A = this chain, B = another copy of it.
Amino acid sequence: MNKFPTIGILGGGQLAQMLALDGYPLGFRFVFFDPTADACAGLVGELMVADYDNEIALEEFANKCDFITYDFENVPVDAAKFVAKRSDVFPHPNVLKIAQDRLNEKVLFREQLKLPVGDFFTVDSYSELVFAAKSCEKNGFLKTRRMGYDGKGQHRITENTDLKSLWDKLEGGSFILEKAVDFKREVSVILARNIQGEISCYELCENKHKEGILTTTLVPAVESKNSLMAFDYAKKIANALNYVGVLTVEMFETDDGLLINEMAPRVHNSGHWSIEGAVTSQFENHLRAGIGLPLGSTDMSKGFSAMINWIGEIPVVSLTTKEKDVYWHIYGKQNRPGRKVGHSTVVADNAQDLHSKVVHLAQLLGAKK
């Protein structure tokens, strides 16, 4: 390894930005590659602006880098494979390929690894949609197989859904229809796996969403009697993929146990709390894993932590106040409805203290917005 390795990141969003901010104190250098000139990672390092099919730019990018990773899972696989011929890329582009297609993911989880997933049906035609809707008792979610995130590309299917007009509106494509799951809550496992195959899991994260977008994460998940099982499932996935880096696996917790929802081959919004809430953040551990350094401890730094996302608008309070155990993260993006523009983290010694602090934080964020 170079003394000060240069790490390239395909995609220049806030995940790339936070990878760099946690990687700089390790002496690492960063270069970002993104088609958008105002990609927010560009605020904290060198940004190459080019399309993902621009091989001249990709080659220049790869030549600058000792290691390359991703900001998001929808980086074109061809671009990842192209740079992988010239530099070390983690996780492997084949993992991207699986994670980019909900069907591939489900097949991996259910067929290959025999892990529990909810009922689902492939939909490539109107007649398949009708069949699938009936099979899931007209209670489910039609999702694009590819390129969905933050609830985008999803359609609720109920008894009242006019399937014909929905299908016409979609103008074709490949989908899966997932039967609605009666879950108590959503949880995620965030783990780091290094080149030697060592795995370290963060405490189980309990996630709350609004309109498909993560709003709050609580760690450790309250009464997480399923956490060992959740870690076991996520580790099976990571080992099967010979995964390197941080992997996130989202699951539903039901009365009958866990169902695996999806995975993200990257650092994850539900792990942002780890910047202050864990001894080693998910960002640092992703880099450590990829570069071949020993993983840092994933223990909680103070026992309990929570993260609240800022959707659409940066709260004014984030500039005006600075309190103990409360941390602000502004990504430097312009406000826009539905956009993740920052987040706040709290840490606490015990569950009750965490609860009080989350209530206080919510008031702060609400009152002075």
Residue ranges of A at the interface with B (Cβ–Cβ < 8 Å): 3-4, 17, 20-21, 24-27, 29, 43-45, 279-280, 284, 288, 293-294, 296-297, 299, 301, 314, 318-324, 327-332, 334, 342
Write out the residue numbers on chain B whose beta carbons fall within 8 Å of the beta carbon of A299. Answer: 324
On chain B, the residues within 8 Å of A319 by CB distance are 26, 293
A-B contact pairs, 13 of them (CB 8 A): A3-B334, A20-B44, A25-B327, A25-B329, A25-B330, A26-B318, A26-B330, A27-B330, A44-B45, A288-B322, A294-B320, A297-B322, A299-B324
Q: Output the residue of A21, A24, A297, A334 with the most chain B CB within 10 A.
A: A24
Q: A29-B332, A279-B323, A297-B324 are in contact. List 4 more A-B contacts (CB 8 A).
A: A21-B25, A26-B330, A27-B342, A294-B321
A207 CB, nearest partner CB in chain B, Å: 22
| A332 with B297: CB separation less than 8 A | no
Inter-subunit contact A322/B280 (CB<8 Å): yes
User: How far, in angstroms, from A327 to B296 measured CA to CA in the complex?
Assistant: 12
In whole angstroms, what is the CA distance A17 to B280 when docked? 21
User: B324–A24 contact, CB under 8 A?
Assistant: no
- Complex CA–CA separation, A66 to B266 (angstroms): 35
Q: Which secondary structure characterizes the binding site on chain A?
A: loop
List the number of copies, as a whole number: 2
Q: How far is the CA of A327 from the CA of B4 in the complex (A)?
A: 18
The 5 closest A-B CB pairs, nearest first, are: A296-B322, A27-B330, A27-B332, A280-B322, A279-B324
Provide the bound-state CA to CA distance between A29 and B40, in Å. Answer: 11
With the chains together, A283 CA to B240 CA distance in Å?
Answer: 44
Q: State which of B21, B293, B320 has its C-beta within 8 Å of the C-beta of A24.
A: B21
A24, B44: Cβ atoms closer than 8 Å: yes
A320 to B320, CA, bound (A): 38
Complex CA–CA separation, A330 to B319 (angstroms): 28
Partner of A297, one of B3, B280, B296, B323: B323
Given the interface contacts A21-B24, A24-B44, does A301 sit within 8 Å of B324 by beta carbon? yes
* Nearest-Cβ distance from residue A302 to partner chain B, whole angstroms: 9
Instruction: Report the minimal beta-carbon distance from A170 to chain B, rounded to whole angstroms.
Output: 38
Q: Residue A29 contacts which of B43, B284, B327 (CB distance < 8 angstroms)?
A: B43
